[in-house]
């Protein structure tokens, strides 16, 4: 079971992922396949949320059908044992849906709060222009186009162009940094995390220290609160870029 085949880059279930979830909810996954599925659920929060939502929707649909049966004359025609089973299920379903609904509300509220905080604190890093002027090399021309798109706040186009530049071999700190910012601007938190993690793991460079602030926001947007807190603590401890904002944001996260 390959995790990359379960979710898209935007965190939505693929067709294959949906099949696996339905098999899991029906109890058809066993052995190693079941262990792999549960491992992915434990390690991948967006996937776990999708499973909970599908489970809740399935429960609501089944409860609706049974309530329709209960309110119709068809239930009167069933044996006493069938009537008892339906009524017991409806009581259990109501309790389960209350629990699931509460859990989903907590998840939604947590995710919603995280997104509001990202909106409050995130501003794309201002681009310091340094085009490769007079260059005829196609790769550098592509790089210039990416910078121009970023400057014009066309972050979706900028992210596409920066990624193409990286894939063609121009891979430096500045590109990773601005690509991470562009992904943040279009709320592609998975992409932002991928690029900013690569940058933050480098030993030195002017963009490395700055990357921790944007990586914290990307984690926050993805609702990875503990990772966000760790990045904010690094900023505070090392007295680097956005220290005052990091203190303020960490305080808000700790109070939740």
Structural domain ending residue among the three candidates 84, 112, 140:
112
pLDDT tens digits for range 42-58: 777 777 777 777 766 65
Residues 101 and 143 in one domain: no
| DSSP, res 13 | B
The CATH code of the domain that includes 160 is 1.25.40.10
pLDDT tens digits for range 208-254: 999 999 999 999 988 888 999 999 999 999 988 999 999 999 998 88
Residues 160 and 224 in one domain: yes
Distance (Å, rounded) from C-alpha 250 to C-alpha 254? 6
Range of the domain at 81: 3-112
Higher pLDDT, 67 or 238: 238
Split into its structural domains, the chain has a count of 2
Maximum pairwise Cα distance, the chain: 87
Q: Look at residue 63 and tell me if it is in a domain.
A: yes
Residues 8 and 127 in one domain: no
If one counts every other C-beta atom within 10 angstroms of the C-beta of residue 223, the result is 19
Higher pLDDT, 56 or 178: 178
Structural domain ending residue among the three candidates 87, 112, 137:
112
The alpha-helical segments, DSSP class H, found in 152-256 are: 155-167, 173-185, 189-200, 206-221, 225-238, 243-254
Residues 7 and 37 in one domain: yes
Q: What pLDDT, on the 0 to 100 scale, is given for residue 71?
A: 54
Q: Give me the residue label for tokens 């430096």.
A: 172
- Residue 177, exposed/middle/buried by CB under 10 A (0-12, 13-18, 19+)? buried
Q: What pLDDT, on the 0 to 100 scale, is given for residue 58?
A: 59
């Amino acid at each position: 079971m390959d995790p990359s085949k379960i979710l898209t880059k935007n965190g939505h279930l693929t067709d294959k992922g949906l099949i696996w979830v339905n098999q899991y909810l029906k109890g058809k996954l066993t052995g190693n396949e079941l262990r792999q599925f549960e491992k992915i659920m434990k390690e991948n929060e967006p996937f776990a949320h999708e499973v909970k939502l599908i489970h809740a929707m399935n429960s609501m649909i089944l409860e609706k059908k049974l309530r329709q049966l209960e309110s119709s004359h068809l239930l009167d025609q069933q044996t006493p044992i069938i009537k008892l089973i339906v009524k017991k299920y409806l009581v259990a379903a109501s309790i389960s849906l209350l629990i699931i609904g509460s859990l989903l509300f907590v998840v939604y509220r947590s995710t919603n709060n995280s997104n509001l905080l990202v909106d409050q604190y995130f501003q794309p890093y201002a681009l310091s222009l340094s085009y490769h002027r007079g260059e005829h090399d196609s790769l550098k021309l592509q790089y210039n186009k990416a910078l121009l798109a970023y400057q014009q706040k066309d972050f979706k186009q900028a992210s596409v162009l920066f990624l193409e530049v990286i894939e063609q071999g121009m891979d430096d700190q500045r590109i990773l940094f601005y690509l991470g910012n562009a992904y943040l601007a279009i709320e592609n938190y998975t992409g932002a995390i991928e690029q900013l993690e690569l940058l933050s793991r480098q030993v030195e460079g002017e963009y490395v220290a700055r990357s921790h602030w944007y990586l914290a926001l990307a984690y926050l947007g993805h609702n990875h609160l503990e990772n966000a807190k760790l990045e904010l603590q690094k900023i505070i401890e090392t007295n680097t870029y956005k220290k005052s904002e990091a203190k303020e944001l960490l305080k808000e996260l700790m109070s939740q």
